[in-house]
Copies of this chain bind each other. A is one copy, B any other.
Amino acid sequence: MHKWNKRSRPERLERRFEFSSYELTRDFLDKLGELCETRKRFPDISFGKNYVNLTLRPDGEEKDSELTELDDGFALDIDHLYN
């Protein structure tokens, strides 16, 4: 199971990742960028020196899409980048 917080209206998954240095933050962002490009999925990402906040929205075109197992799988793949 992934470690993300599920929010509603609209449905989305959120998680904050913390890092002890800017170098580690950037390493994570680089790996994340490659994963996003491979999957053609582009979450909203906010970051500073020591953190990255991610918001994953459902992988659907419709405005009221709901989260599916595909989104959970993507979240889990991002968790693996962090470990």
- A contact set with B: CB distance below 8 Å: 22, 26, 29, 33, 36-37, 42-49
A45 touches B48 (CB 8 A): yes
Contacts of A44 in B (CB 8 A): 46-48
Contacts of A49 in B (CB 8 A): 42
**Nearest CB on B from A18, distance (A):** 14
Q: How far is the CA of A53 from the CA of B43 in the complex (A)?
A: 14
Q: How far is the CA of A37 from the CA of B49 in the complex (A)?
A: 10
Closest chain B residue to A55, Cβ basis? B48
Contacts of A37 in B (CB 8 A): 22, 26
Contacts of A26 in B (CB 8 A): 33, 37
